[in-house]
């Protein structure tokens, strides 16, 4: 199958396959749409089963970034990169340097940053070979805590604000006493757990690695469950914070939560899933709206702004979601469809 015929190609502007023999780097950089500005989006490193899986992931992710930037009111487009390999065992500084050189060939049309498997120090290494990186420094901290450029704290705060808005819409109440199941307690999921704990929610957590789980249990009173159990727990909110396809044909009929609101990109395996959730009365917070905190943070760090503006921008995620929920309730459309139409009206050329 040619890349142009790929079901997720979605009119991408540019897709580059990057190979560096010396370091073993195999990566794909995809720029979906730059009508509003350069394609900003993180770089993910993951042990993909094959290059086809990596291509599907990067195409879906970069398209999502276009929609995310549009809904966050940013003059940015959508792009994303994936590196094929296990970040725990295959990553080297030379490989990150080679990645930086490939990012530089885009001459600013693609700006990279952290995503799953890629840390601030990896982006700093890339940044020695290209100026087109974000998420490496923080001029402004939205909550006053010391910040190193990692966008995860801002993402987690945005998800928290959005989750609160979803709970208010669905239950007419705050988070106190609500039960939330978090799938994936990594950089974002663990910070989300902290916000939710402080707001009085009761937590259930699952992960494939123990580090985040132990902290969630010990510090935030969470109950650890297996990854096979977490999707179907009888809770108020399901928060997917691992990788994509959290809601798919295999698990959708087992989901008992009333609200789905989490950090993961591409939570719905297909548009159909959004419609089924709406029919089941499950309120879905569109992923690229609720998890926009990271690019909002990077945008502010790269421009002249201040901590108050950054925090206010992050908190508008809740207002945007409330508008989507209200419009979906009025029209009977799925929330994902409402969000898509709002985003497209902003970034598509008339």
* Least gap, CB of 64 to ligand NAD (angstroms): 9
Q: 229: closest CA among 284, 265, 183, 283?
A: 183
* Under rule CB under 6 A, residue 212 binds ligand NAD: yes
* Least gap, CB of 147 to ligand NAD (angstroms): 12
Known binding residue 24? Answer is no
Q: Is 275 a catalytic residue?
A: no
Q: 314: closest CA among 143, 170, 95?
A: 143
SS3 251: coil
* Under rule CB under 6 A, residue 227 binds ligand NAD: yes
Tokens 């297996």 correspond to what residue? Answer: 226
Among residues 68, 80, 91, 183, the one annotated as catalytic is 80
Pair of tokens at residue 179: 């039960």
Between the two ends of the chain, the Cα-to-Cα distance in Å is 31
The CB-nearest residue to ligand NAD is: 186
* Least gap, CB of 146 to ligand NAD (angstroms): 17
Part of the chain binding ligand NAD (CB under 6 A), chosen from 9-17, 29-37, 200-208, 303-311:
200-208
Part of the chain binding ligand NAD (CB under 6 A), chosen from 99-107, 126-134, 216-224, 258-266:
258-266
Known binding residue 195? Answer is no
Pick the closer one to ligand NAD by CB: 27 or 333.
27
Q: Are 244 and 265 in contact (CB under 8 A)?
A: yes
- Measured CA to CA, the distance from residue 62 to residue 41 in angstroms comes to 7
CA angle 308, 313, 319 (to 5 degrees): 130
Among 32, 183, 258, 313, binds ligand NAD (CB under 6 A): 183
Helix (H) or strand (E) holding 283: strand 283-284
- Measured CA to CA, the distance from residue 247 to residue 280 in angstroms comes to 13
Residues serving a catalytic function are 80
Can you say which residues are annotated as belonging to the binding site for NAD(+)? 184-189
Residues in contact with ligand NAD by the rule CB under 6 A = 114-117, 151-152, 155, 183-189, 206-209, 212, 227, 241-243, 263-265, 291, 294
């Amino acid at each position: 199958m040619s890349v142009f015929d790929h079901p997720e190609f979605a009119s991408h502007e540019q897709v580059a396959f990057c190979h560096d023999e010396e370091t073993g780097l195999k990566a794909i950089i995809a720029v979906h749409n730059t009508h509003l500005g350069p394609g900003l989006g993180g770089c993910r490193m993951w042990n993909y089963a094959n290059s086809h899986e990596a291509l599907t992931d990067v195409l879906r992710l970069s398209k999502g970034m276009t929609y995310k930037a549009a809904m966050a009111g940013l003059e940015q487009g959508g792009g994303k990169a994936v590196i094929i390999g296990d970040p725990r065992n295959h990553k080297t500084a030379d490989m990150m340097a080679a990645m930086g050189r490939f990012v530089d060939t885009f001459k600013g049309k693609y700006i990279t940053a952290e995503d799953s498997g890629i840390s601030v120090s990896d982006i700093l290494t890339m940044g020695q070979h290209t100026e087109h990186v974000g998420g490496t420094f923080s001029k402004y901290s939205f909550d006053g805590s010391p910040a190193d450029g990692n966008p995860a704290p801002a993402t987690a705060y945005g998800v928290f604000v959005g989750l609160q808005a979803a709970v208010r819409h669905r239950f007419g109440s705050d988070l106190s006493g609500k039960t939330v199941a978090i799938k994936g307690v990594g950089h974002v999921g663990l910070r989300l757990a902290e916000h939710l704990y402080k707001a009085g929610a009761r937590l259930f957590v699952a992960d494939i690695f123990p580090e985040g789980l132990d902290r969630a249990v010990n510090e935030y009173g969470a109950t650890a469950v297996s990854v096979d159990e977490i999707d179907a727990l009888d809770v108020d909110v399901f928060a997917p914070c691992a990788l994509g396809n959290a809601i798919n044909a295999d698990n959708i009929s087992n989901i008992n939560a009333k609200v789905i609101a989490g950090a993961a990109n591409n939570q719905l395996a297909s548009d159909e899933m959004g419609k089924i959730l709406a029919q089941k009365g499950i309120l879905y917070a569109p992923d690229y709206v609720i998890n926009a905190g990271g690019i909002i943070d990077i945008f502010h760090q790269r421009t002249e702004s201040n901590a108050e503006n950054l925090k206010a921008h992050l908190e508008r995620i809740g207002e945007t979601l409330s508008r989507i929920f209200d419009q979906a309730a009025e029209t009977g459309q799925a929330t994902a469809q409402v969000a898509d139409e709002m985003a497209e009206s902003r970034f598509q050329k008339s």
